[in-house]
Structure 1
Amino acid sequence: MKRRTILFGAAGLLAMFGTALFAWRSSSSRAPAANRAIGVRSSGEAPAKPDPAAFYEASLPDLDGRAVALRDYLGRPTVVNFWATWCAPCVQEMPYLDEIAKNSPELGFVGIGIDTEANIKQFISKIPVSYKLVVAGHSGISMVRALGNAAGGLPFTVLLNEDGTIFDTILGQVEPEDLRHRISKLIVKSKT
């Protein structure tokens, strides 16, 4: 009897594992790769043109509950990073972003949390950053999409010209040297 129970249990576990593997492989094959997802819609429609004007019309609360008008970032090159506490690549890139923000005083720099204020405060108590953080909650995904990230993936970093137009975007975790290079090009462009 004991051997039969073990065999049935093993067969059941194997069946569950096989079903899970099949489901994962079939869903993964239909999902677009993150780096190709910008501007791609699953329905085959042409993507909407990114609209940074909608971004600048927004006002979001900071971690003290004070409203931050994003239009205040107009007039200087700005780095906007969309992130969440539950997003591992977002968390991994934050120390790099903080270092770059500290060493680039000519830039506007803002992190937009696609999370709750409580989660962000708890996170920042462990991993503080020097740049401004604001809370968009889950409605921030619509901001991400308006800036050209149709898939809504995180992290998503947008480099904005001083006139408010999009200079560059990065979907996925930033590479520090690559981001520094892109920022230097943004700064040079703003000085010309």
Structure 2
Amino acid sequence: MNTTNKIVLAVVAVIAIGAGATLSKKHDSQTVAAPAADIAGPVAALYGQSMNDASGAPHALSQWKGKAVLVNFWAPWCGPCVQEMPELVELSKELAGKNIGVLGIGIDSPTNIAQFADKYRISYPLYVAGMSGTDLSRQFGNTNGGLPFTVLIGADGKVRKTYLGRLKFAELRADLAAL
């Protein structure tokens, strides 16, 4: 990566951190309504992608079709994202036998995501999307590109709920129980 790309990435990261911190303080997890007519588009876009995991191995996201999935858009430099990760790890362990998957889509470089995953022992699947992950989250209704942004997709492929900001796990558990 050349110096210009590093500077651009650093500027984008600083802006996103500021936006994420502001959103998390103001909205500490708010539901973002997805228009009913647009629901199939983002889910199809998600399942139509292949992304590398933190170790660089490619995975077709279509493998998640037919399961309820909690998709968490995050970044290692996003404070609220990092704060909710331990609870997401625990939740993923609880949901392991219930046909509900938890996955993270990282908005950063493969190296940073791999280092973070190793350091914090993230046990659920993490995929590397880079900045294209922000575009994907926008398709789900995250118009400002704030992080963390989480999408609950039912086994039928319909978006059940979206969450902007740090997750409120009591609310999330109730939403998961309603699936």
Query: For this structure pair, what is the TM-score category when the shorter chain's length is used for normalisation?
Result: 0.7 to 0.9
Q: Which letter maps to 1:179?
A: L
Q: Does 1:65 align with 2:59?
A: no
Q: Which letter maps to 2:45?
A: A
* TM-score (norm. length: structure 2): 0.76
Counterparts of 1:75-114 in structure 2 under 5 Å?
Answer: 75-105=66-96, 106=98, 107-114=100-107
- Structure 1 partner of 2:168: 175
Identity %: 43
Paired residues of 1:90 and 1:173 also in contact (CA < 8 A): yes
Paired residues of 2:71 and 2:104 also in contact (CA < 8 A): yes
Q: Which secondary structure state, in structure 2, belongs to the residue aligned with residue 103 of structure 1? A: helix
Task: Give how far 1:157 is off.
Answer: 0.7
Inter-partner Cα distance in structure 2 for 1:126 and 1:119 = 10
- Structure 2 partner of 1:18: none
- Structure 2 partner of 1:118: 111
Paired residues of 1:39 and 1:150 also in contact (CA < 8 A): no
Task: Give how far 1:124 is off.
Answer: 1.8
Listed one character per residue, the Cα deviations across residues 52-109 of structure 1 (whole Å, up to 9, x for unaligned) are 2111111100112111111110111111100000100000000001100001112111
Listed one character per residue, the Cα deviations across residues 117-142 of structure 1 (whole Å, up to 9, x for unaligned) are 11111212221111000100011111
Paired residues of 2:72 and 2:103 also in contact (CA < 8 A): yes
Number of aligned residue pairs: 151
Q: Does 1:162 align with 2:159?
A: no
Inter-partner Cα distance in structure 2 for 1:73 and 1:91 = 24
Inter-partner Cα distance in structure 2 for 1:104 and 1:37 = 22
Task: Give how far 1:151 is off.
Answer: 1.3
Paired residues of 1:49 and 1:148 also in contact (CA < 8 A): no
Inter-partner Cα distance in structure 2 for 1:88 and 1:36 = 17
Task: Give how far 1:38 is off.
Answer: 4.2
* TM-score (norm. length: structure 1): 0.71
Q: Does 1:129 align with 2:122?
A: yes
- Unpaired runs of 5+ residues, structure 2, are 1-18
Q: Which letter maps to 2:112?
A: N
Task: Give how far 1:174 is off.
Answer: 0.3
- Unpaired runs of 5+ residues, structure 1, are 1-27, 41-45, 187-192
Q: Based on CA coordinates, which of the two structures has the bigger radius of gyration?
A: 1
Paired residues of 1:156 and 1:171 also in contact (CA < 8 A): yes
Moved over 4 A (4+): 31-40
Which residue of 146, 165, 171 maps to 1:153?
A: 146
